[in-house]
Structure formats: structure tokens, C-alpha cells
Amino acid sequence: MNIEVLTLFPEIIDNYSNTSIIKRAKENGIVNIQAVNFRDFSDSKHHSVDDAPFGGGAGMVLSPQPIASALKKLNYNQKKVVYLTPKGKTFNQKMANELSVGKDLILICGHYEGLDQRIIDNYVDLEISIGDYVLSGGEIGALVIIDAVTRLLPGALAESSLDEESFSNCLLEYPQYTRPRVFKDYEVPEILLSGNHQKIEEYRLMESIRLTLQNRPDLIQKGIRNKVFDERILKLIKEIKNRLL
């Protein structure tokens, strides 16, 4: 997959995409990430990229010309154009899954008061927010998408790492432990050392449910609403809920 990022700060994208799993995925030809500074496409004398808003108001608005020219150069018609903005749809695992099997991506990072609406109306396919808070630019959001999507691409991770992840089944992932068996005074739950796979599976499921009830009751509600849980899980949810009360 090719991911191109339109930004005024390409170094943010380059730095991150040269680390860890993203770096490995790039080296293995699984993903190609290119940061493009849209200031280079500005036709104005001083390479300006923004201007005051029509109608007045605070801040500056990103001008349409540099971004439209950059998009044209990148053949945006053949790609999915995503604009990072707090006004977008909230990003989640389902969107990451969908993007990972779709077209090549162009991610536009806004700054200041955002992008001229005509770019959004005529060039952008999808507006994405990474959460209900306002950041100073779209780069962090672009990195969130790059990370969440890249790790889903075939070959980026061992396939089994994706099997039991948080969110895929409306439950958070169970807690993990590694050596040593006793750290300071803290012991690994006995059952994980038992070698009894059925008991371990049961224990992990209970822990997933307990953690989700505690930290993300909204996910449990969603799972119930969408009939994601089977009878066994529904019964356990009831039991654990009563125990937590």
C-alpha cells in the first residue's frame, strides 16, 4: 500500500515512519510512506499556504491552490483522500480494517483554522478525527492512521498477533504476563502456569470481560446491542457484573 501525506512538517512523518514496525514494513515492501510538503506547490511569490478567512474571524485558513496542485500531482483520483480534522468521523478499529483493504491513501494534515471548504467538498473522500480534542495539526492523526493501518497489512505482523486483539469482538484484550514468575512480591496468576489450556482460555475470557466492564462499559453495551456475544459470554457478563457491584 502507498500512503502519501500532505503536510507542512514532513519531518514528523519521516521520523516516525522510520521506527519499529512501520520501518520494517517499509523495508519489506509492504507499505510505502511518502511525506509531501504542500508548500512546495504554492504558486505565490513567497510560497505562502494560508490566508485570512472570508467573513472575518480568528486565525488563518489553508488556501486551496497549493493543496489542489499537490493532489493533482499525486493522481488523487485513483486514491482515497483523507483529511485529518477534529470535525471528522471518529477513527476506530473498524475504519482501520476498511482502510487496510482499500485503495492507496493520501492523508491531508490541516493546520491553523483548517482547510478551505472547497477542497473538502471537491477532493476529499473521508474526514477523520482521532478523538474529541483539538490538536495543533493533523500530523499526529495521520501517524495514528498510518500505524493502525500498516500493522494490518499482510506480512506486517505475525498473523496470530491480530487474532485476539482488543475491539475486534467488543471486548478488551486480557492481561499478559511474562517471566519472571515472581517480580518483587507480585506473582503471575497461578492458572497461567497450569498448562490447562481450557482453564487458561476461561480465565482470559473472564479477565477480558472484567476489564471491559470496568474501563469500557460502552463496548459491552455495543456488543449486546449488535448481538456480538454468545450465550456463554452473556452469562459471564451478568455474573461478573454482579460480582463487581
Picking from 154, 155, 156, 176, the residue whose alpha carbon sits closest to that of residue 165 is: 176
Quote the least distance from Cβ 110 to ligand ADE, whole Å. Answer: 6
Quote the least distance from Cβ 124 to ligand ADE, whole Å. Answer: 13
Quote the least distance from Cβ 208 to ligand ADE, whole Å. Answer: 28
Grid cell of 212 as nine digits = 471491559
Residue with nearest beta carbon to ligand ADE: 141
Residues at the interface with ligand ADE (CB under 6 A): 84-86, 110, 129-131, 133-135, 138, 141
Sequence-ordered alpha helix ranges (H) in 110-196: 117-123, 139-150
The type of residue at 231 is: E
Q: CB burial class (10 A; 0-12, 13-18, 19+) of residue 158?
A: exposed
Q: With respect to ligand ADE, which residue has the nearer C-beta, 12 or 156?
A: 12
Q: With respect to ligand ADE, which residue has the nearer C-beta, 107 or 171?
A: 107
What distances in angstroms separate CA 131 from CA 51, 82, 85, 148, 164, one per listed residue?
A: 27, 15, 10, 14, 24
Q: With respect to ligand ADE, which residue has the nearer C-beta, 78 or 136?
A: 136
Q: With respect to ligand ADE, which residue has the nearer C-beta, 66 or 141?
A: 141
Quote the least distance from Cβ 7 to ligand ADE, whole Å. Answer: 12
Q: With respect to ligand ADE, which residue has the nearer C-beta, 3 or 233?
A: 3
Quote the least distance from Cβ 197 to ligand ADE, whole Å. Answer: 42
183: DSSP letter: E
Four-CA torsion 77, 80, 85, 87, nearest 10 degrees: 90
